[in-house]
Amino acid sequence: MTELARNVRLMIFDVDGVMTDGALYYNDAGEELKAFNSLDGHGLRMLAGTGVKLAIITGRQSRLVQHRADNLKIDYVYQGAHDKRLAFESLLAAAGVTAAECGYMGDDVIDLPVMTRVPFAVAVPQSPDIVRKHAHYVTVHHGGNGAVREVCEYIMQAQGTLDGVLAQYLR
């Protein structure tokens, strides 16, 4: 399965249920809150440092997502993408890559139009059966609890960059 991740040049992530635990929190003013995992964030930074471009395609619209993407220097962000297939086509053109160079990580049926078009599709264990069935890899960790980090390290391992990335922390 690592051979499927070897050619990933652009890794795309859903947000709710992947980068978060999927719970939606609101304060008394009706403002949405999300909890992001710092280990996932560092995994994204490490992966980007190897030259893999990063993208988000999410069906929801949230200022929090844009703040997180800006903080992590995620290259492309598509929010409010109710038809993720259209966002994916737009992303391919913007990033100058083909579908064969992409990976996608999702957790629900809204993600299937992209998951079925990439050679490296990832799901989290809490995903519905049909989503896990269409995934090439199902993470051990749950969304919002290290699943993104797991995938980032998996890609770096497949591409032979993980040891070099980790070596800089062992000097």
Question: Which stretches in the chain have pLDDT values below 50?
Answer: none
Q: What is the pLDDT of residue 89?
A: 98
> In angstroms, rounded to a whole number, what is the distance separating the alpha carbons of residues 157 and 6?
9
Residue 116 lies in a domain: yes
Q: Which residues are annotated as a binding site?
A: 14, 16, 45, 60, 68, 84, 107
Residue 86 lies in a domain: yes
> In angstroms, rounded to a whole number, what is the distance separating the alpha carbons of residues 90 and 39?
29
Number of domains in the chain: 1
Residue 169 lies in a domain: no
Segments forming the whole domain that contains residue 144: 2-163
Residues 52-89 pLDDT 10s: 999 999 999 999 999 999 999 999 999 999 999 999 99
CATH of the domain at 47: 3.40.50.1000
Residue 168 lies in a domain: no
Q: What is the pLDDT of residue 1?
A: 65
Would you say 40 and 84 are in contact if contact means Cβ atoms under 8 Å apart? no
Residue 113 lies in a domain: yes
Q: Which residues are annotated as a binding site for Mg(2+)?
A: 14, 107
Q: Which residues are annotated as a binding site for substrate?
A: 16, 45, 60, 68, 84
Residue 98 lies in a domain: yes
Residue 53 lies in a domain: yes
